[in-house]
Amino acid sequence: PFLNLRAQYILRIARQFKMQSSAISNISDWRKPYAERNQLEDLLHSIPAPAPYTVWLRWFEQGTAIIKETNSPNEPNQMALATATRDGCPSVRYVLLKGHDERGFYFYTNYSSRKGKELAENPRASLCQYWPELNRSIRIEGRVERTSAENSEAYFRSRPLPSQIGAAVSPQSQVVPSRDFLEDRRRELDARVSQGESVARPESWGGYCVLPTSYEFWQGQRDRLHDRVRFRRRQDLTEEEMRMAQPAEGDWVCERLAP
C-alpha cells in the first residue's frame, strides 16, 4: 500500500509538472490585448509635421510620468543599444540614456567594451526604447560619435562614488578569473579612496552621442494593426519615396509604415 501511495504521488507530481511545462513552453499562445489608441494621427494631420525630436520629447515625458504614477520597476531612460562589427555581426544590450538634445542621444561606457570596439569599427547604432505601460516604443538609428573628454569627465564626476569606483576597476567585456578578482580590485581602490585619493576617470571610459538619421514611433493597437510613423532626412529619400512622404519641420519628412 505504501508503494502504491508513493507511486500515485509521483505520478500526480509528474502530471502537474507536465501541465506546467506545457503552459510555459506554449508561448505561441501568449498574447496581450492592447487598448485602442490613436496617438499618432496628429503627426500626419498637421502640415508640416513636428520635428521628430519634439515628438520624442513629448513621448519621453509621458513615459516618465506613467512610470512614476504606477510605481513601475522600469526605468524611463533604459534603452536597447544595437551595434555591429565591420562585417555586420550584430550585438545588443541595455544601456541608460544619460543626455539628449536636438543633436542626439548620449550614453557612457568603456571604449574597450564589446560595444566600444564595434563602434570603432562601424560607427553606426540603433536605439530602441519601450514603455509597456503605454504600449509604445521608439526606434532611433544614426551615426555615432564620441563625446569630448571634457564632457566625459563632467559626467564621470557627476556619478556616485561607488559607480566611479566600479567603472575604474572593471575591464568591461574582458574575461576575468573570478568574481573575487573584481572584488579585490574594488576593495583596493576603496582603501585608497578612504585615505583621500580621488578616483581617476579611466582614459578608456567616456561618452557617445547617437546622431539620428531616422526615428520610428510605434503605438500598439488592438488586433495588432499597430501604428508606425517614421521620420527620415529629406536628402536620404528618392524622388519616388518623397511622393508618399509628408513634410516635417526642419529637413525631416514623415512616412506611415504598415505594421
Residues classed as catalytic: 224
Least Cα distance to 237 among 259, 213, 212 occurs for 213
* Contact of 76 with 67, CB cutoff 8 Å: yes
Report the C-alpha gap between 95 and 169 in whole angstroms: 19
Contacts of 88 (CB under 8 A, 6+ apart): none
**All cell numbers assigned to 90:** 550584430
Instruction: Identify whether 48 is preceded by a cis peptide bond (ω within 30 of 0).
Output: yes
Report the C-alpha gap between 62 and 243 in whole angstroms: 32
Strand partners, 211: 143
Residue that has been written with the C-alpha cell 561606457 in this structure: 109
- Give the angle 160-161-165 at the CA atoms, nearest 5°: 125
